[in-house]
Structure 1
Amino acid sequence: MPSPIRVGIIGLGRAEGEMVPGVWAARAHLPYLLASPHFTVTAVANSSVASAQASIDHHKLGPSVAAYGSPTDIASDPNVDLVLVSVRVEKHYALTKPALLAGKDIFVEWPLGATPSEAKELTALAASKGVKTSIGLQARASPLVKKLRSLIYDEKAIGEVLSTVVTATFSMMPTGLWFKGVEYYLDANSGGNPLTIFVGHFLDSFTHVLGPFQGEARENGFGAILETKFPDVKVMDTCTGQIVNEHFAKTAPDHVFLQGRVGAGTLASLSWRYIQKGEIEEEGLKWTITGTEGEIEILTGRKQWQGLKTVDVVVKIKKGDGEVEVLDLGSLDEEEGNLIGKLRNVAKNTGEAVGGFC
C-alpha cells in the first residue's frame, strides 16, 4: 500500500451544535480521515493558531499535528499533500488559492467558489500547477443514487425514461427567523444559500442520474423562476435566545422553479418552496421518474439531501402492470458497510474523488 496522503484541514471545529463554524469538518470529514488507512491528518488551520490548537486538542489528534492561523502557512507545510477546506462558501476562494499556488491538491466543500468566475479561476490555476481540485458533492456517492442509476440504466426497470417531476419544500428551514453568525445563508450573492446548497446538492444527484440540462435556449424549453417571497427575517442570537435584528433583508430565493429537458430529452419539472405554517403532507421531497414501462418514486423526510440516511427515504417502483414495490434500502446499507448517512457518503465521495492522488 502506498504511503497515506497527508491532509491539512482548514475549518475544523467541534462536533457540537448545528449552524456553527467547523461542525461539518468535525462530524463528517474527520471521522473518516481518522478511520481510513489512506489518509493521515498532519495539520489544522483556523482563524488563529490558538483556535487550531484548541481543535487539535479537542479531537485528541496528538502533538505531531501542526497548528496554523493562515491558509498560506498550512499550504507551505511540506508535511501536507492535500488541503481540505470546509468553511462558509464566500471564504473558499481566499483559503483555497494559497494551497493551489503551493502546488497542493485540494478538496473543497461544494461549491469550489462563491461565483462561477472564482471557480473557473481556481480550476485554471490548478491545471497550471498540475494539481487537482475535488469538490464535496457527497450525495452522488450514496447507495441510493447508485441504485437509481442501476435501476434506470442497467436493469432498464422502467424502460425508456420519458419525464421526471420533483416537488420539494425547504421544510427544515425556518421562514421568518434565522441565526446570528450565519446571515450569509440569506444572501443571494454569498454562494452559500438555499439555492446553491439545499437545491444545488440535489441537482448534482439529479443530473448524475438523469443527465445534465440541455443548455439555456428557450427553444429547448429551459426556464427558471427564482423569487424571494419572505424577504423580512428576524435574526436571533442562539446563545441568549434574544432577537438581535427585527428586520434583516433576505435576498436569497425561497421559491425555486426549474423546467427543461435533461439527458437525451427527458422532460423535467422541479420546484422548491418555503412554507409559512406547514405543508399538508410532510414528505420533504418527492421525486418521480416516469418511463415507458413503469415509474419510480422517491420520498424523503425533512432532511437535507446530501446527508440522507436510508431510514429517511422510501423508494417505490411500479413495473408495467405489476404491483407497487417498496425497495429494501436496508440491503443497500449492508452492501455499503457500517458507515451510515452523511459520514458514509462523505467517505465514499472523498475516496472516489482523491483516489487518484495515491
Structure 2
Amino acid sequence: MPSPIRVGIIGLGAKIGSFVPGVWAVQGHLPYLMSSPDYLITAVCNSSVSSAQASIEFHSLGSDVRAHGSPEAIANDPNVDLVVVTVRVGLHYALTKPALLAGKDVFVEWPLAANIAEVEELTQLARDKGVKTIVGLQARASPIVVKIRDLVQSGKLGKILSSTVVGSFSSFPNTVWLEGAEYYLDAQAGAGVFKIFFGHFLDSFTHVLGPFRTLSSILKTEYKTTNILSATGEVVSPNYPKTTPDHVLVQGTLSSGALASLIYRTIPDPDSAIDGVGIRWLITGEEGELELCTPAGHWQTTGDGVVLKARLGKGKEVEVIELEATGGDGGNTSRQYAAFLKGEREKFPDFSDAAETHKLLERIVEVAERS
C-alpha cells in the first residue's frame, strides 16, 4: 500500500463557524484530510509559529504535526509533499511561490492569484518545476457538472446550438457584509462576487461547453455601499464602499459555434427570487435540451434541492436525472483530493486550466470597460 501524501496547510484557523472569514480550510479541507488514509497532515503554517501551534491543538491534529510561521519554512519541510494554500487571494502569490521553488506539489484555492501577472508567473513556475498543481475550482468534481458534461459529450442532445444562464449572486443579503472580509467588496483586490462566485460558475460553463470565441459584456455596480457586520451581528461600518460588480451580462459565441448568454443579477436576499431558483442553466441541442435549476447558494458548494431535467432526443419525454448528493461545503473539495490521487484530470483543474479562466474573466472586464 502506497504511503499517504504528506500535507502542509497554510491558513488553518483555530476557529469554526459558517461563513466566518478564514474558516474555509476548516470547512472545506480539514474533514477529508483528517479522515482519508491517503493523506496525512504533517504541518500547519500561519502568520506565526504560535498561531500555527494553536490551530494544531485546537483541531487535535497531534503532537507530530509541525508548526511553521513562514511560507519558506513549510516549503522546505522535508515531511511535506503537498502544500495547501487556503487564505485570502491577496496572499496566494507570496505563499505559493516558495512551495513551487522548493519543488512541492501545491493546492491553491480559487482565485489562483490577485492579478493576471501573478497567475501567469505561478503557472509558468509550476510548469518549469514539473510539479503537480490543483486549483480550488471544485465544481468540476461535482456530480452535477460531471453528469451535465457526460450528457453533452454523449451526443444525446445532438449538436449544441445555444446555452442560456440566469443566475443570482444573492446567497447572502446585499445590504450587509462580514467584518474581516471587506476585500470581497474591492474590485481591485482580486476577489469579490465577480471573480469568486461568477468565476466558479464560468469555469464550469466552459469546462462543459468549451471556450468562448467572441463575447461582449456589461458589468454594473448597482449597490455601491453596504453595512459591515461584526461576528455578533452589530453594524460596525455603515455605508461601506463597494466597487465589485453585482450585475454581470456576458454574451457570445463558443468555439463550437454555439451561442451563449449568461446573466448574473443581485436580488435583496436569498428568499427574494420569485421562483426560489438561484441558477437556471439551459443547454439546447438539435436533438434535445437540458435544464438545471439550483436553489440560492454558492455554485461550487451547491447541495440539496438541485433539479436536472432532460429531453434526450426529439419526441422523447422529459425526464428528471438523478444526481448524487454533493455532500455539503467540503464535498466537492473532497472529490478533488480523491481525483488527484487517481489522476482524473477532468475533475480538478491545475494552474494552467485556472489561468484560462482568469484570462476569460479579464477579457470580460476589458470588453465591458470599453462598452
Return the TM-score normalized by structure 2: 0.87
* Map of 2:262 onto structure 1: 270
* Map of 1:287 onto structure 2: 281
Q: Which consecutive residues of structure 2, in runs of 5 or more, have no partner in the other structure?
A: 344-371
Tell me if the contact between 2:248 and 2:264 (Cα under 8 Å) persists in the aligned partners: yes
Of the candidates 306, 313, 316, which is equivalent to residue 313 of structure 1? 306
Tell me if the contact between 2:82 and 2:107 (Cα under 8 Å) persists in the aligned partners: yes
Once residues 73 and 265 of structure 1 are traced to their aligned partners in structure 2, the CA distance between those partners, rounded to angstroms, is 49
What residue identity is the alignment partner of 1:344? Answer: G
> Where does 1:1-358 land on structure 2 (aligned, <5 Å)?
1-14=1-14, 16-154=16-154, 156-214=155-213, 220=214, 222-239=215-232, 241-276=233-268, 278-309=272-303, 311-319=304-312, 320-329=314-323, 332-333=324-325, 340-353=327-340, 355=342
TM superposition shift of 1:316: 0.8
TM superposition shift of 1:7: 0.7
What residue identity is the alignment partner of 1:258? Answer: V
Q: Deviations over 1:16-75 (max 9, x none)?
A: 223324422112211111222221110001122222112111221100000112111111
TM superposition shift of 1:167: 0.2
Tell me if the contact between 1:303 and 1:312 (Cα under 8 Å) persists in the aligned partners: no
Tell me if the contact between 2:301 and 2:331 (Cα under 8 Å) persists in the aligned partners: no
What residue identity is the alignment partner of 1:296? Answer: L
Q: Deviations over 1:130-153 (max 9, x none)?
A: 323321111111111111112121
Tell me if the contact between 2:82 and 2:104 (Cα under 8 Å) persists in the aligned partners: yes
Once residues 20 and 11 of structure 1 are traced to their aligned partners in structure 2, the CA distance between those partners, rounded to angstroms, is 13
Once residues 183 and 71 of structure 1 are traced to their aligned partners in structure 2, the CA distance between those partners, rounded to angstroms, is 24
What residue identity is the alignment partner of 1:231? Answer: K
* Map of 2:366 onto structure 1: none
TM superposition shift of 1:171: 1.8
Q: Deviations over 1:283-316 (max 9, x none)?
A: 000000111112110000112111122x231011
Q: Deviations over 1:270-290 (max 9, x none)?
A: 010112362322200000011
Tell me if the contact between 2:220 and 2:245 (Cα under 8 Å) persists in the aligned partners: yes
Q: Deviations over 1:90-144 (max 9, x none)?
A: 1111111111122211110112111111011111222233323321111111111
Cα distance change, pair 289–14 in 1 and its aligned pair in 2 (3 A): farther
Once residues 119 and 353 of structure 1 are traced to their aligned partners in structure 2, the CA distance between those partners, rounded to angstroms, is 21
Cα distance change, pair 128–178 in 1 and its aligned pair in 2 (3 A): same
What residue identity is the alignment partner of 2:320? Answer: V
Tell me if the contact between 2:170 and 2:268 (Cα under 8 Å) persists in the aligned partners: no
Identity of aligned residues (%): 53
What residue identity is the alignment partner of 1:345? Answer: N
TM superposition shift of 1:162: 0.5
Cα distance change, pair 180–343 in 1 and its aligned pair in 2 (3 A): closer
What residue identity is the alignment partner of 1:254? Answer: D
* Aligned-CA RMSD value: 1.8
What residue identity is the alignment partner of 1:119? Answer: V
Return the TM-score normalized by structure 1: 0.90
Once residues 81 and 21 of structure 2 are traced to their aligned partners in structure 1, the CA distance between those partners, rounded to angstroms, is 24
Once residues 354 and 96 of structure 1 are traced to their aligned partners in structure 2, the CA distance between those partners, rounded to angstroms, is 21
Once residues 116 and 23 of structure 1 are traced to their aligned partners in structure 2, the CA distance between those partners, rounded to angstroms, is 26
Once residues 244 and 185 of structure 1 are traced to their aligned partners in structure 2, the CA distance between those partners, rounded to angstroms, is 17
Once residues 354 and 201 of structure 1 are traced to their aligned partners in structure 2, the CA distance between those partners, rounded to angstroms, is 23
Once residues 11 and 349 of structure 1 are traced to their aligned partners in structure 2, the CA distance between those partners, rounded to angstroms, is 19
